[in-house]
Structure 1
Amino acid sequence: MQSTFSGIEIGKRSLLTHNQGLQTIGHNLSNASTQGYSRQRVELGTVDPLYRPQLNRAMTPGQIGQGVETTRISRVKDMLLEGRIVANAADEGYWSQRDKYVLQLEQIYNEPSESSVRNLMDKFWDGWQELSIYPEQMSARQQVAQRGEALAEGIQNRYNSLNQLRSVLNDEVHVEVSRINTLTDQISDLNAEIAKVQAEGDEPNDLLDKRDLLVEELSGIIPVTIETKDPDEYSIYTNGIHLVQGAISRTFSTQTDPQNDGYSMVVWADSGAEFRPESGSLGAHIELRDQDICQEIQNLDNLAVNMADIVNEVHSVGFGINGRTGEEFFEHHPMVTNTQGNYDRSGDGVVDSSYIFRIGGTNQLTAQDQIGLEGTISLSGPNGLVEVPYRSDDTVQDVLVRINNSGAEVVARLDFQNKLTLKGAPSQNKDNPDFVIREVSDSGQFLAGYAGLLLESGDAGAYRWDQPDAITSLRAGADFAVAPLSHASAWLSVNPEILEDPASIATSLAVQNRPGDVGDGRVALEIASIRNSPVMVGQISTFDDYFADSVASVGLKGQQAQSALRTQEAIMKDLRDLRSSISGVSIDEELAQMIKFQHGYNAAARFVTKIDQMLETIINRLGV
């Protein structure tokens, strides 16, 4: 039987429900500017009616309603849209960091400017050109020495700037690894709290918002994917590996990588396996540090090594006005002290390798002569050997071009005496040293009999670096040079003896085994002509080509990063604007909802008053 006082209960429920609606609206309005907050809605439902279809139900003309109740307080959230935002956040983080640091890289190059390396090198060549005209003047010699020192300092300054930028990026990696670990710990803790609240049948809306905000921040650092198939276990993956699984999270740590100049690599803390994200801000920082800037440093080292080697090659055969010869203009710092290049690569106390930078033939060649030989030259490459075939109708120049365009980590040129020279190039594999020739062989006679470089052809005459005294495979009288100390751009400097006595600067060639005339400037002219000579700095033909390629490369990287960032920002703006239109708090809409609940509350209060008046009639007036 329905109670006489049931109307009071219905009114009370209505008052409580509308009061809860007003409180929820107040919560929304209070958090209108809170980052990551999703507006909440009170979902209303009818209370189960008094009578259900059963045998003992009262004989009444239908079910009697028992008022309203709050069924749930839900977040207004589009989870598919949230997944798209998380998926795209990694690209936004990646390109924003690339754009930021490539801009700093462009500022380091500072081209064109008075203090740029290119301008300093132009002045250096101009100094030699003037010296070739006035070899007897000490002022011209001092100018060459000073400009050489200025060029060396300019190259060192560029190296230091690039190295400092790498160090900054390395610090960024450490900071982001720490931030990732903090975020995953916070997310796993929230997962545990959310599971407890949901187990009690409540809606942890604010906790869910906090978790979504942390996940979006995490997705900007590393690429992540979310899995919610199991409603009791919220999981996050990166590179296909579990990062967060419910209340359990995995962490990262950093380890020093001796093969990468001592910079840190990111590893999984539990397994020690290396982690290299392909996108996100962490992926951008690692890529910039280990690829882009490392490549720029290698290119600068390549410039410094080859410039010093070629200038010294010419300078050492000339005579200064004081009669001295055999002097190197730039200082040479070998990687190993052994004059044969023998080195203990394994660190067991026994020499097992040969670190040779340059090997040169004994025969003079003419670039346009046909070689009349056939065979295949095998050279060390980034991933094994690179084969360079040659035919009988090829010219010497054809073979050189084919070697330099083969992708091998060995380059070829004719020196100023027209003898074949092979040089080690920077290595793409960090396990191999830069500027070390690792293997050279020839199935035919081009390198052996024709160029006078190898002692014999075939596998038996191959030059291989993984043994001591590898130079014994070279023909007697062949020229060679020990590999330079790593990062030549950091230590490049003019020979102190040249700076102390500019009269030692070579300008003349020998005449009948005696120093040339004081007015002989052929050596200075030869060095000045290096500016536009095919020096083969890797696949770059001349030094001018090197600068043009370097500036263009950095500029294109900057343009690509800027364009990609604008595109990604536009995509993310559209997604976030759409999310805001769905989940964001609208003041006008909330005020409209407030009026609705306010009227509902007032109506419920009026209803309770009327019921109270009816009960008063029954209690006080019935039977009077």
Structure 2
Amino acid sequence: MNNIFSGLHVGLRALETQRKSLDVTGHNIANANNENYNKQRAIHKASYPYTAPGLSNHGGAGQFGTGVEIEQVERVKDQFINSQIFNETQTSGYWEEMQRGLEKVEYILNEPSDSGIDSSINQFWNSLQDLSNNPSDDAARNMVRENAYNVIDSFKSVENQLNDYKESINDNLSNAAADINNITNKMADLNKQIVSVKGSGQNPNDLLDERDALYKDLSELINVQSREDAQGNLVVSTQGLQLVNGSDAYELETKGNTDDNSIPRMEDQLIHSRTGTEIKPTNGKIAAWMEMRDEKLDFYAGRLDKLAETMVTEFNNQHQAGYDANGVDGGNFFEPIDNSSNQSVIAQLDLTAAIKDLENGLDKIAAGNKNIDTFVELDTLGNNLSGNYQIEVTENTSNSDQLDIVINDTDGNEVYSDTGINVDETINLSVEADGGISVDTDPAVDAINDFTLTLNKEGKRNITLDKSIGNGENANALANIFNSDEVIEGASLEGYFRTIVTSVGAESSRSQQMKNNQDVVLKQLTTLDRSISGVSLDEEMANLIKYQQSYAAAAKYINKTEELLDSLMTIV
């Protein structure tokens, strides 16, 4: 009689086990499209036998089985592959943001284009060429000034956009810190639930899936390490600082590098709230943002500053070597750069007040050549002089450290001579009414017919006292600054800028390649992981049929057992 009733229990256990197995299969099918879900499997085992060995037991057939039960609902997961996915996710996040950042810098530089720095430099160069051909044309002079403004505006536009990008990175850091805190708080809460479920002897499979998904999201942002303790808590840390320990989460915060609200926070730091320690991630999106902000952007901004400073210095030097429209020595064209200023070089870019002057500024552009670095320097002192002469400077016969000078008119007649003049000495002369030249007897008073000569070395050449505005040679020399080699690091100004652009392009291309490589690696690992842990509908349909048939067979077994019981009761 007992054996018949035990048969009912065997059948009931079989029904319950197959039904629960069908529930597990249904749960798998329901989550077939959940990328964070790992399939589960019901592990069957024989339930504890009916009789245990003992002295009171008869020596018959031995123990009788009591059926089947579910030992556990197993989560199918390869932890080694899972760990690799987390590690590669960090690297993938880094290269994704690095590529995106360099692409942003390429967009800011906007080359090649019709509105970038290179284009504005070319337009400035063209206007200087036009001025060299038409130095007396106010329209040509105005184009030089306007295109100089365009060059300044182009530099400042790029710098402003780079600074804006820096600020946006700080915003990203603040948002990322909030995201990290949200993730770690959720993980701490999940730790508490998982420990509770494990304490009851069950497997918290869905909770573990949720915690793994959060850890993957965290890995994409920052390089983290983890370990699981004996109770089932996931302990998460970065750079030796804990973010999650049991049900406790330690938040991160961003802090500016200055307490002065009037100064923009250009370099926000990531701080561990519990210890106050600064965190400098080495992988993940945040590491890419910080490297972009603190290294890449500063590097390219520094190179642009160097280009701008060299342009200002070289252009001003050459501009001072010419005459303006009034025959006066050229001054600075751009405002000189103050290296002691807190402002960047580009922020200081501006034209001098003399050049910007609306009434006389165009006349201050020094397009004419005043023969600097020749054996003799001519300065007409701004006077409206005329006349062509031949100057010959020779070594003094009595003193080799001194020079003699002879000036002849166009007919070869001597109009002036002098001896015993020191090297680099300036002599003050005047033009006579008949075209002759005499010593200026009162050099302290500038007369309208005065001019000076400075003797540098021996030589012979023809000179003109006409205003040098007519030759445009200095405008041509100013234009040559932009395409002459050896101006800056062995390159021209224009060539140096192009090296900046190509450098950004090369880095962006490399980052894109590294991102693509990481995508391939991560895809392969994910495919491998899904082949093990992912839900296969074909496999689940086979399990569905298997468990359904087992359930039906168990039901038939119960029916047969019930028939036996009915027969027995009839006999009784």
Aligned to 2:276: 272
Q: TM-score, normalized by length of structure 1? A: 0.72
Whether the 8 Å contact between 2:18 and 2:548 is mirrored in structure 1 is yes
- Please report how far the alpha carbon of residue 68 of structure 1 lies from its aligned counterpart in structure 2 after TM superposition: 0.5
Task: For residue 88 of structure 1, give the secondary structure of its aligned residue in structure 2.
Answer: helix
- Please report how far the alpha carbon of residue 513 of structure 1 lies from its aligned counterpart in structure 2 after TM superposition: 6.2
Task: For residue 575 of structure 1, give the secondary structure of its aligned residue in structure 2.
Answer: helix
Aligned to 1:514: 381
Within 2, Cα distance between the matches of 1:52 and 1:147? 102
- 1:138–1:36 CA distance, 2 compared to 1 (3 A): same
- Please report how far the alpha carbon of residue 496 of structure 1 lies from its aligned counterpart in structure 2 after TM superposition: 4.6
What are the superposed Cα offsets for residues 33-68 of structure 1, whole Å, 9 maximum, x if unpaired?
A: 113001111000111111122223344321111111
Q: TM-score, normalized by length of structure 2? A: 0.78
What are the superposed Cα offsets for residues 459-494 of structure 1, whole Å, 9 maximum, x if unpaired?
A: xxxxxxxxxxxxxxxxxxxxxxxx345223235232
Answering whether residue 113 of structure 2 is matched by residue 113 of structure 1, we say yes
Within 2, Cα distance between the matches of 1:190 and 1:594? 31
Look up the equivalent residue of 1:277 and give its one-letter code: P
Task: For residue 469 of structure 2, give the secondary structure of its aligned residue in structure 1.
Answer: coil
- Please report how far the alpha carbon of residue 533 of structure 1 lies from its aligned counterpart in structure 2 after TM superposition: 4.1
Within 2, Cα distance between the matches of 1:535 and 1:298? 19
What are the superposed Cα offsets for residues 368-416 of structure 1, whole Å, 9 maximum, x if unpaired?
A: xxxxxxxxxxxxxxxxxxxxxxxxxxxxxxxxxxxxxxxxxxxxxxxxx
Look up the equivalent residue of 1:494 and give its one-letter code: L
- 1:286–1:550 CA distance, 2 compared to 1 (3 A): same
Task: For residue 21 of structure 1, give the secondary structure of its aligned residue in structure 2.
Answer: helix
Aligned to 1:523: 474
Aligned to 2:496: 546
Within 2, Cα distance between the matches of 1:579 and 1:3? 48
What are the superposed Cα offsets for residues 138-194 of structure 1, whole Å, 9 maximum, x if unpaired?
A: 122111101101111111121222222222222222211111111111111111110
Aligned to 1:622: 571
Aligned to 1:417: none
Identity, % of aligned positions: 31
Task: For residue 5 of structure 1, give the secondary structure of its aligned residue in structure 2.
Answer: helix
Aligned to 2:421: none
- 1:562–1:73 CA distance, 2 compared to 1 (3 A): same
- Please report how far the alpha carbon of residue 583 of structure 1 lies from its aligned counterpart in structure 2 after TM superposition: 0.7
Within 2, Cα distance between the matches of 1:33 and 1:324? 81
The 5-angstrom pairing of residues 257-268 of structure 1 reads: 257-258=257-258, 262-268=266-272
- 1:267–1:324 CA distance, 2 compared to 1 (3 A): farther
Within 1, Cα distance between the matches of 2:257 and 2:367? 46
Within 1, Cα distance between the matches of 2:314 and 2:241? 51
The 5-angstrom pairing of residues 369-448 of structure 1 reads: none
Look up the equivalent residue of 1:267 and give its one-letter code: I
Within 2, Cα distance between the matches of 1:297 and 1:128? 27
Aligned to 1:562: 512
Within 1, Cα distance between the matches of 2:342 and 2:120? 24
Structure 2: 5+ residue stretches without partners: 371-376, 383-466
Within 1, Cα distance between the matches of 2:83 and 2:231? 16
Task: For residue 108 of structure 2, give the secondary structure of its aligned residue in structure 1.
Answer: helix
Aligned to 1:503: 363
Answering whether residue 341 of structure 2 is matched by residue 487 of structure 1, we say no
Within 1, Cα distance between the matches of 2:378 and 2:491? 32
Task: For residue 511 of structure 1, give the secondary structure of its aligned residue in structure 2.
Answer: strand
- Please report how far the alpha carbon of residue 535 of structure 1 lies from its aligned counterpart in structure 2 after TM superposition: 6.3
Look up the equivalent residue of 2:295 and give its one-letter code: Q
Within 2, Cα distance between the matches of 1:261 and 1:553? 28
Within 2, Cα distance between the matches of 1:260 and 1:219? 30
Whether the 8 Å contact between 2:93 and 2:221 is mirrored in structure 1 is yes
What are the superposed Cα offsets for residues 239-282 of structure 1, whole Å, 9 maximum, x if unpaired?
A: 24332222222221111124996331212112222211111111
Task: For residue 44 of structure 2, give the secondary structure of its aligned residue in structure 1.
Answer: strand
Aligned to 1:157: 157
Task: For residue 253 of structure 1, give the secondary structure of its aligned residue in structure 2.
Answer: strand
Within 1, Cα distance between the matches of 2:73 and 2:316? 81
In our comparison, the structure showing a higher alpha carbon Rg is 2
Within 1, Cα distance between the matches of 2:288 and 2:299? 15
Point out the more displaced range, 272-281 or 540-549.
540-549
Within 1, Cα distance between the matches of 2:536 and 2:139? 79
Task: For residue 603 of structure 1, give the secondary structure of its aligned residue in structure 2.
Answer: helix
Within 2, Cα distance between the matches of 1:576 and 1:155? 46
Whether the 8 Å contact between 1:277 and 1:283 is mirrored in structure 2 is yes
Answering whether residue 535 of structure 2 is matched by residue 585 of structure 1, we say yes
Within 2, Cα distance between the matches of 1:561 and 1:63? 68
Look up the equivalent residue of 1:331 and give its one-letter code: E
Aligned to 2:414: none
Aligned to 2:31: 31
Aligned to 1:458: none
Task: For residue 494 of structure 1, give the secondary structure of its aligned residue in structure 2.
Answer: coil
Aligned to 2:81: 81
